[in-house]
Amino acid sequence: RKSSKVEMGNNNPANKVPTKVILSVVSYGVAVSGYLGTKFGTWNWFSFHPALMMLSFFSLTGAAALIKKRGGYTNTKLHGYLMALATVAAGFAFYVIYSNKIMLQKDHFTSWHSWWGLTALLAYLLLFVVGLFGLHPDFGAAKTNKLIRASHKYAARLATVIAWISMILAFNKLDDDPTHQLAFATPLVASAFIVLV
């Protein structure tokens, strides 16, 4: 009997991403989130912004991309759930920084970091809508359309690059030690070859 579920992704065993690679990406993001959240001593309202953006734009999206590379129905759905969680976390992190600037009576969107970050957030929101309503393996209106699937894939990679540029700019603003900046950026660049290629 033929399954009614649409197989999504490449099920070639050569494309399987080891769990330890996924856990490494998630662990790095969690560790940096903790560092950024407590960078200035105590955890405060602002701390949620860098911590959640790091979790969203690196840990969750990185894991989602790697899981999607494994292919198959279940991994496609898990990819969607993780991306939805990442989008919600990034949205809340945006609310945190927006409200924090209001409390401090500071202007919004005054840095390259803020514009790159806003672009990434809006891109992820759009990708979420397309992924949910267009590509969901159970009810997506365009789930078998190869052009839309490829467009979603490459647009998501571009959004992730934009998000990571925003994170590097933010980290460099929060921590001016060149050794720390290099230690932060190197795993991102290395991960790009695993997550984005």
pLDDT of residue 3: 45
pLDDT of residue 1: 43
Residues with Cβ within 8 Å of residue 148, at least 6 apart in sequence: 130, 134, 135, 142
Distance CA 12, CA 134 (A): 24
Residue 76's closest CA among 14, 11, 121?
11
Distance CA 132, CA 149 (A): 12
Distance CA 57, CA 67 (A): 15
Q: Which helix (H) or strand (E) element contains residue 50?
A: helix 48-54
What single letter denotes the amino acid at residue 105?
Answer: Q
Task: Kindly report the pTM of this predicted structure.
Answer: 0.90
Residues in the chain predicted with pLDDT less than 70, given as ranges, are 1-15
pLDDT of residue 39: 87
State how far the alpha carbon of 119 is from the alpha carbons of 55, 123, 124, 163, 185, in Å.
17, 6, 9, 8, 20
pLDDT of residue 92: 98
Distance CA 97, CA 139 (A): 35
Q: Which helix (H) or strand (E) element contains residue 108?
A: none
